[in-house]
Protein backbone atom coordinates (compact mmCIF):
# COMPACT_ATOMS: atom_id res chain seq x y z
CA UNK A 1 0.00 0.00 0.00
CA UNK A 2 2.80 2.39 0.83
CA UNK A 3 4.41 1.84 -2.59
CA UNK A 4 1.14 2.73 -4.34
CA UNK A 5 0.83 5.95 -2.33
CA UNK A 6 4.45 6.84 -3.05
CA UNK A 7 3.92 6.33 -6.78
CA UNK A 8 0.71 8.41 -6.66
CA UNK A 9 2.49 11.26 -4.87
CA UNK A 10 5.37 11.05 -7.33
CA UNK A 11 2.98 11.18 -10.29
CA UNK A 12 1.10 14.21 -8.94
CA UNK A 13 4.31 16.08 -8.13
CA UNK A 14 5.93 15.39 -11.51
CA UNK A 15 2.83 16.38 -13.49
CA UNK A 16 2.26 19.52 -11.42
CA UNK A 17 5.89 20.54 -11.83
CA UNK A 18 5.83 19.93 -15.58
CA UNK A 19 2.69 21.98 -16.19
CA UNK A 20 3.71 24.76 -13.81
CA UNK A 21 7.14 25.17 -15.40
CA UNK A 22 5.67 24.86 -18.90
CA UNK A 23 3.00 27.54 -18.46
CA UNK A 24 4.06 30.07 -15.83
CA UNK A 25 7.60 31.17 -16.76
CA UNK A 26 7.13 30.76 -20.49
CA UNK A 27 4.02 32.93 -20.46
CA UNK A 28 6.40 35.84 -19.82
CA UNK A 29 9.36 34.67 -21.91
CA UNK A 30 8.66 34.87 -25.65
CA UNK A 31 9.76 31.79 -27.61
CA UNK A 32 8.23 32.32 -31.03
CA UNK A 33 9.99 29.88 -33.33
CA UNK A 34 11.50 27.54 -30.73
CA UNK A 35 8.33 25.98 -29.28
CA UNK A 36 10.32 22.94 -28.12
CA UNK A 37 12.30 24.91 -25.51
CA UNK A 38 9.48 25.12 -22.89
CA UNK A 39 8.81 21.39 -23.23
CA UNK A 40 12.45 20.45 -22.73
CA UNK A 41 12.94 22.80 -19.77
CA UNK A 42 9.70 21.65 -18.11
CA UNK A 43 10.57 17.99 -18.66
CA UNK A 44 14.04 18.47 -17.18
CA UNK A 45 12.67 20.29 -14.12
CA UNK A 46 9.95 17.65 -13.62
CA UNK A 47 12.55 14.86 -13.81
CA UNK A 48 14.79 16.57 -11.26
CA UNK A 49 11.92 17.25 -8.87
CA UNK A 50 10.66 13.67 -9.31
CA UNK A 51 14.10 12.29 -8.47
CA UNK A 52 14.32 14.49 -5.38
CA UNK A 53 10.82 13.53 -4.17
CA UNK A 54 11.46 9.83 -4.76
CA UNK A 55 14.63 9.95 -2.64
CA UNK A 56 12.83 11.85 0.12
CA UNK A 57 9.84 9.50 0.15
CA UNK A 58 12.06 6.45 0.46
CA UNK A 59 14.06 7.96 3.31
CA UNK A 60 11.16 9.49 5.24
CA UNK A 61 11.32 8.71 8.96
CA UNK A 62 8.46 6.72 10.40
CA UNK A 63 7.66 9.10 13.25
CA UNK A 64 4.32 10.58 14.28
CA UNK A 65 4.82 14.02 12.75
CA UNK A 66 6.11 12.70 9.43
CA UNK A 67 3.16 10.33 9.08
CA UNK A 68 0.67 13.08 9.86
CA UNK A 69 2.31 15.53 7.45
CA UNK A 70 2.69 12.97 4.68
CA UNK A 71 -0.96 11.92 4.94
CA UNK A 72 -2.15 15.52 5.13
CA UNK A 73 -0.14 16.68 2.13
CA UNK A 74 -1.04 13.66 0.00
CA UNK A 75 -4.78 13.66 0.64
CA UNK A 76 -4.91 17.47 0.69
CA UNK A 77 -3.23 17.68 -2.73
CA UNK A 78 -5.54 15.05 -4.19
CA UNK A 79 -8.59 16.80 -2.73
CA UNK A 80 -7.41 20.16 -4.03
CA UNK A 81 -6.81 18.79 -7.54
CA UNK A 82 -10.21 17.11 -7.66
CA UNK A 83 -12.00 20.19 -6.36
CA UNK A 84 -10.05 22.62 -8.53
CA UNK A 85 -9.82 20.81 -11.85
CA UNK A 86 -13.08 18.83 -11.60
CA UNK A 87 -15.39 21.83 -12.02
CA UNK A 88 -13.17 23.18 -14.80
CA UNK A 89 -13.53 19.91 -16.72
CA UNK A 90 -17.19 19.14 -16.04
CA UNK A 91 -18.71 22.64 -15.94
CA UNK A 92 -16.38 25.04 -17.75
CA UNK A 93 -19.02 27.78 -17.87
CA UNK A 94 -19.14 28.04 -14.06
CA UNK A 95 -16.95 30.97 -13.08
CA UNK A 96 -16.58 29.99 -9.41
CA UNK A 97 -16.00 26.26 -9.88
CA UNK A 98 -12.30 26.14 -8.87
CA UNK A 99 -13.10 27.80 -5.55
CA UNK A 100 -14.40 24.40 -4.44
CA UNK A 101 -10.85 23.07 -4.41
CA UNK A 102 -9.38 26.15 -2.80
CA UNK A 103 -11.83 26.56 0.07
CA UNK A 104 -13.48 23.16 0.62
CA UNK A 105 -11.90 19.99 -0.77
CA UNK A 106 -8.26 21.09 -0.34
CA UNK A 107 -8.46 22.04 3.35
CA UNK A 108 -10.87 19.20 4.14
CA UNK A 109 -8.53 16.72 2.45
CA UNK A 110 -5.62 18.17 4.42
CA UNK A 111 -7.44 17.63 7.72
CA UNK A 112 -8.68 14.15 6.83
CA UNK A 113 -5.23 13.18 5.56
CA UNK A 114 -3.65 14.31 8.82
CA UNK A 115 -6.15 12.26 10.80
CA UNK A 116 -5.51 9.31 8.50
CA UNK A 117 -1.74 9.66 8.98
CA UNK A 118 -2.25 9.64 12.74
CA UNK A 119 -4.45 6.52 12.57
CA UNK A 120 -1.87 4.84 10.32
CA UNK A 121 0.90 5.64 12.81
CA UNK A 122 -1.21 4.28 15.69
CA UNK A 123 -1.92 1.04 13.82
CA UNK A 124 1.73 0.66 12.85
CA UNK A 125 3.02 1.35 16.37
CA UNK A 126 0.58 -1.16 17.90
CA UNK A 127 1.67 -3.79 15.40
CA UNK A 128 5.30 -3.26 16.41
CA UNK A 129 4.61 -3.47 20.15
CA UNK A 130 2.40 -6.59 19.81
CA UNK A 131 5.26 -8.63 18.30
Same domain assignment for residues 35 and 77: no
For residue 125, count other CB atoms closer than 10 A to its CB: 13
Give the Å distances, CA to CA, from 111 to 59, 62, 75, 89, 118: 24, 19, 9, 25, 11
Taking only the tens place, the pLDDT of each residue in 95-125 is 888 899 889 998 999 999 999 989 988 988 8
13 and 26 both lie in a single domain = yes
131: pLDDT strictly greater than 60: no
Which of residues 59, 80, 109 is at a domain's end? 59
Burial group, residue 12, by CB count within 10 angstroms (0-12, 13-18, 19+): middle
72, 84: one domain: yes
The total of structural domains in the chain comes to 2
Together in a domain, 77 and 106: yes
Same domain, 18 and 70: no
* Per-residue three-class SS string for 53-119: HHHHHHCCCCCHHHHHHHHHHHHHHHHHHHHHHHHHHHCCCCCCCCHHHHHHHHHHHHHHHHHHHHH
Dump pLDDT digits (tens) for 24-74.
887 788 887 888 888 999 999 999 988 988 888 777 667 899 888 888 888
- Where is the domain boundary, 59, 80, 108? 59
Are both 74 and 97 inside the same structural domain? yes
State which residues form the domain around 51: 1-59
pLDDT of 130 reads 61
Q: Is the pTM of this model over 0.75?
A: no
pLDDT at position 119 is 93
Residues 66 and 129 in one domain: yes
User: What is residue 73's predicted lDDT score, i.e. its pLDDT?
Assistant: 83
Pair (74, 120) in one structural domain? yes
pLDDT tops 90 at residue 88: no
Compute the C-alpha angle 43/49/55, nearest 5°: 135
Is 75 found in the same domain as 50? no
Amino acid sequence: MRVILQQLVLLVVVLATFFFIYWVPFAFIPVDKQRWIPSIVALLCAALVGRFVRKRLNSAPAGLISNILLGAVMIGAIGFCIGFFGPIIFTPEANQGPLLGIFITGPLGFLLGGIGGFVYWLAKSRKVTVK
